[in-house]
Structures are given as structure tokens and as C-alpha cells.
Amino acid sequence: MMRHLLILSCVVVAGVAVASTPVSASKPARAVKPTQASRAVPPCQPQAPERKVFPQGTLLWGTGRKDERSETSSILASVDLGRMKFGKNAVEGLRLEEGRLVSSSRKPEELVGAVLQGRSSDGASVEVALCGAEAAPGDPSMMWYRIQIWDAERSSWENPCVGTLRVPSPRVLAVPGVWDARGARHEESGQFTFACENGAIAKCIGWGYKPWGQKEGQPLHELHQACTRMARADYCGDGRSHTREDTPIDMYDGLAVLTRAKVAAGGWEPALASFEAAWTAEGAWCLSRTRDGSAVERILEECPERFEAGEKDLGEGDRCTLLRKGERADAVLLRNRSYEKSVQRSAPRSTP
């Protein structure tokens, strides 16, 4: 069935997504070397919802930053499948099947209470407690998890995910692969990612691009990666975002996982939107303009080896003015439209 989806590029919600603005500063959990104290304080205690102040729309993992100056640093960037324990007892045969953690000795929901070992984006060790698990409604291929990581500075277990007004206590998805500081995805043996629901990795899964999925025999992992680039407006494919909060976008792809919205609905006005960019897993293939309103010449300055001025008509009114050097148009996986900066404030806002 043909589908279309209108997105506000800040917070994931099924159907139309609506941005939420964080309202109070709270220090994110820091990934630090585990200590003896972590065994004295039990994980998975009830916590008050946190609202943190990192900008929405730019988040990749959806976690707090390890380095507050870097938008592609994370206090939890990867998790080890081979090091899960209940107390001192190791869990044997842990593996990731689609979007679910399973083991040879326990059902997926029976893994709650275990502690895994992860790493932050700078390689520091992180203890990760699995505090809850719930099946995704209508989708047996994945589960939502609640996790906490040990923060030695506070001597407490903390949710590593960035919270917002709409999602103050974010959950995570278990996703195959790991992402580096440039936003590139890699297959690492025995490693996976806990992706928070306010970050691009999880949002793109919610929008239909499951990296373990297929459509018409075609795997979706490259489309998922292209989506993470698109969601953050990472034109150069180097991890730098060019988006803002409250920015509605419409996306559509060649496999028709999502199709272009041509009728006004849910607060989206197609007549006010225009083509922004076409995307590959490595970043933009071409663009007509930037999402944040900066000049396209800025993109040429940021990655001169990648783009050159030129024109390309992709059809349906989608025209590029900046093209990827030396790459054919059939590399395009995904396209998007958005409101230009001059009309963003007057554009209707959607509600859930």
C-alpha cells in the first residue's frame, strides 16, 4: 500500500511528528569507567523524567553528548553482545534478531534486569542496565527497551537519552550496526546500537526504514542510512547537521516505503513546500537549497571535494542546483521537501 508521512524533524511520533522544546537544563549522564560503587547501587530504580537542552533535530543516537561541543559525540555509542550478566552470571548466546535481543537460555522479556557493557563515542567503557522491554505494537520484529547507564560522578544510574516535553523518558531500540562521529554506519562483529527514540537512527525506523527489513526483495539498510542523513540535513556526509527545531519535512523514496504528500493534511501544506535535496547513504546527492536557510555556497565551502554547481531535473518539480561530483543520479535513494525559511513561521503546525 502506498504511504506518505509528514515529519517534523525533531521528535519521532507515529504518523505526523511534532517537535518539543526542552525546557530545563539538566546534566546528562556521563559515560565513565565502572567502579565498585556501581555494584552497591542497584540499577533500574524509578526516576523523575528529565528534560535536557541539546538541540532536537540534530541528534543521531538521541543520547546525551560525551563532548558538549560535538553534536556527534555520544555517552553511549555501542553495546557489546558478548558481555551481558545477571549479577556474576553471564548470559550465553545473546544475539540480535532484527530489532530484538534474544538468547539461547531466556525469552526476550526475561533479559530485563541484566547489565551489558557498552562504549561511549570516545571509547570509554559504559555499564548499561536493561530495565524494561515491551513489544512494539503491531510489529513483532522489534522491541522497545528502557535502559540506564552508570554515572560514577553522581553515583547513580541514569537514562542516557535526551528527553523532551513530548518524550521526557525516552526508550531505545536495539539496532544492528554502529555509527561513528561522521554519521557513517559500520557492521562490527558482536556490536549493536541502543538508539534513543528522539534520535535520527530510531526515528527513521519509526518512519518505516528498518535496517533489517526488505521491500520487494530490496534490503532497507541503505535507505535507513540515507534517512539518518536526511533527518539531520547532513549534506556533506560528515556528521554536521544543517537543520533546526520545528522544521516540517516530507520524504519519499524509490521503493515507495513513503510517498510524496500532494494533498494538504495534518497541518502540512504542499503548496508552501519546495524540493530541498536528494539523498544517498553517504549524504546528499544533490540539493536545491538548505533547510536552515543558509546559502548553498556554504555547503560548497564545507565540502568542496563533494559538490559542484550544476543543474539536474529529477522529475516532479525536483530540480537540483548543486550536484555530487562523479556520481550518477541512480544512486539517489530518498528525496525530501520542506518549507523555505521565509515561509516556515507562517506554515501551519500539526498536532498529534
Residues 170 and 85 in one domain: yes
Examine the domain organization and report whether 316 and 254 are in the same domain. Answer: yes
For residue 219, what are the contacts with CB-CB under 8 A and spacing of at least 6? 213
**Residue-number span of the structural domain to which 47 is assigned:** 22-206
For position 18, what pLDDT does the model report? Answer: 29
Contacts of 345 (CB under 8 A, 6+ apart): none
Which three cell numbers, joined as nine digits, stand for 75? Answer: 555517552
CB atoms near residue 349 (< 10 Å): 12
Query: What whole-number percentage of the chain has pLDDT above 90?
Result: 69
Q: Do both 50 and 113 map to the same domain?
A: yes
Residues 150 and 239 in one domain: no
- Last residue of some domain: 161, 188, 206? 206
pLDDT over 60 at 56, yes or no: no
Q: Where are the beta strands (DSSP E) in 199-272?
A: 214-215, 218-219, 248-253
CB atoms within 10 A of CB 263: 7
- pLDDT tens sequence across 251-306: 999 999 999 999 998 888 999 999 999 999 999 999 999 999 999 999 999 999 99
Query: Is pLDDT above 60 for 185?
Result: yes
Q: Are residues 200 and 218 in the same domain?
A: no
- Same structural domain for residues 57 and 76? yes
Least confident of 49-58, 144-153, 214-223: 49-58
| Same domain for 260 and 153 | no
Residues 273 and 170 grouped into a single domain = no
The whole-number average pLDDT for the span 201-217 is: 96
pLDDT value at 227 more than 80:
yes
Same domain, 199 and 224: no
Q: What is the pTM of this model?
A: 0.86
User: Which has the higher per-residue pLDDT, 318 or 351?
Assistant: 318
Q: For cell 535520527, what's the residue?
A: 200
To 5 degrees, how large is the angle CA 224–CA 30–CA 55? 50
Band of pLDDT at residue 39, cut at 50, 70 and 90:
low
pLDDT band at 48 (very low <50, low <70, confident <90, very high): low
- In whole numbers, what is the pLDDT of the chain averaged over residues? 85
| Residue that terminates a domain, selected from 206, 238, 254 | 206
Residue whose C-alpha is closest to residue 101's, from 84, 86, 121: 84
Kindly state whether residues 228 and 246 are assigned to the same domain. yes
Residues 202 and 240 in one domain: no
Confidence (pLDDT) at 10:
41
Domain-terminating residue out of 206, 231, 248? 206
Number of domains composing the chain: 2
Q: Which helix (H) or strand (E) holds 300?
A: helix 296-302
Provide the CB-side half-sphere exposure for 16 (13 A, CA). 15
My answer on whether 217 and 176 are in the same domain is no
pLDDT in the model for residue 15: 32
Q: Is the dihedral of CA 339, 340, 341, 345 positive or negative?
A: negative
